[in-house]
Amino acid sequence: MQLGFIGTGEITLSIVTGLSSSGVAPHSIWLSPRNSAVAHGLANRFHGISVASCNQEVLDHSATIVIAVRPSAARDVLSELAFRPDHRVISLVATLSLRSLSALVAPAVRIARAVPLPSAAKQLSPTAIYPPDPMAFELFAGVGTVFPVERENEFDAICATTATIASYFAFNETIASWLEEQGVPASQARDYIARLFLGVTTGAVDAPKRSFQSLAATHATAGGINEQFLKHLVERGLLTRISEALDAVLHRIGAES
């Protein structure tokens, strides 16, 4: 596979690192030069990676193009490029619909959307793809678990859920900071909370037939402290606010696509 990346930010860094570390890296990878430190860092670290002089050179040397630019810059960047009819295009831009992409990358017609996460660097990314494309499936199977989606509205909804990652870390920071206030050293508090949720998440992954509601009920023993904490949050509308925030993100994705 001759793979090229337009955009060399955090997600490109993660995908290329994951592919190159897994031993199933494509025959060659070309990177755009915009983020020179990331691009040259990857080229120096792994074999088979080249840094292009411009975005068009990435297209000229690649058969599969991964678009990994910021949503605000995507249309301007893509409008300056000359795609070939034989290009396969995979877009990681959450706010560009398949219809919008088709117009921007014509005459290329083999187009897919994907939403990988930074955990791709460790081959742990859950990656939704739309439509279910064999090339995209093969690529992202090298960096985690692939979730093919049949309808674009479902894909957009999955994209919206990735907006919760920063809030997850902020939630953890609040808990770790509270531990510090109780006298626990900062480094110990941080490591404890990270491992607390690592264990919880691993348990959920290892029990795929159990709903999150079922797992919550198991932990929220009647009269116990988990039940007390959850009840406090529910009574103050926290979970409702989460749904409202996701609705707002999904609305933005639809409006900008």
The full DSSP string for 194-222 is: HHHHHHHHHHHHT-TTS-HHHHHHHHS-T
**155 in a structural domain:** no
Distance (Å) of CA 169 to CA 119, 190, 193, 207, 221: 14, 11, 10, 24, 26
- Cα 25 to Cα 43: distance, rounded to the nearest angstrom: 13
pLDDT for the residue numbered 256: 81
**72 in a structural domain:** yes
**How do residues 25-79 score in pLDDT, each as one tens digit?**
667 999 999 899 999 999 999 999 999 999 999 999 999 999 999 989 999 999 9
Domain of 138 in residue numbering reads as 2-150
Do 107 and 231 belong to one domain?
Answer: no
CATH number at residue 129: 3.40.50.720
pLDDT for the residue numbered 145: 97
Do 121 and 203 belong to one domain?
Answer: no
* Secondary structure of residue 68 in the 3-state scheme: coil
- Cα 94 to Cα 249: distance, rounded to the nearest angstrom: 11
Helix axis angle for 165-181 and 186-205, nearest 10°, is 140
Q: For the chain, how many structural domains are there in total?
A: 2
Do 185 and 145 belong to one domain?
Answer: no
| Boundary of a domain, candidates 117, 150, 183 | 150
**74 in a structural domain:** yes
**156 in a structural domain:** no
**70 in a structural domain:** yes
Extract the residue ranges of the chain whose pLDDT is less than 70: 24-26
**157 in a structural domain:** no
| Boundary of a domain, candidates 150, 178, 197 | 150
Do 131 and 193 belong to one domain?
Answer: no
pLDDT for the residue numbered 68: 97
**171 in a structural domain:** yes
How many CB atoms lie under 10 A from the CB of residue 218?
12
pLDDT for the residue numbered 24: 66
Spatial strand order in the sheet of 110-115: 49-51, 28-31, 2-6, 64-67, 88-91, 110-115, 125-130, 144-148
Do 6 and 127 belong to one domain?
Answer: yes
In this structure, what token pair is assigned to residue 156? Answer: 């957009």
* Secondary structure of residue 253 in the 3-state scheme: helix
Report pTM: 0.91
Task: Compute the 3-state secondary structure of the chain and give helix, strand, coil in percent, each to the nearest 5.
Answer: 60, 15, 30
Do 192 and 251 belong to one domain?
Answer: yes
| Boundary of a domain, candidates 126, 150, 174 | 150
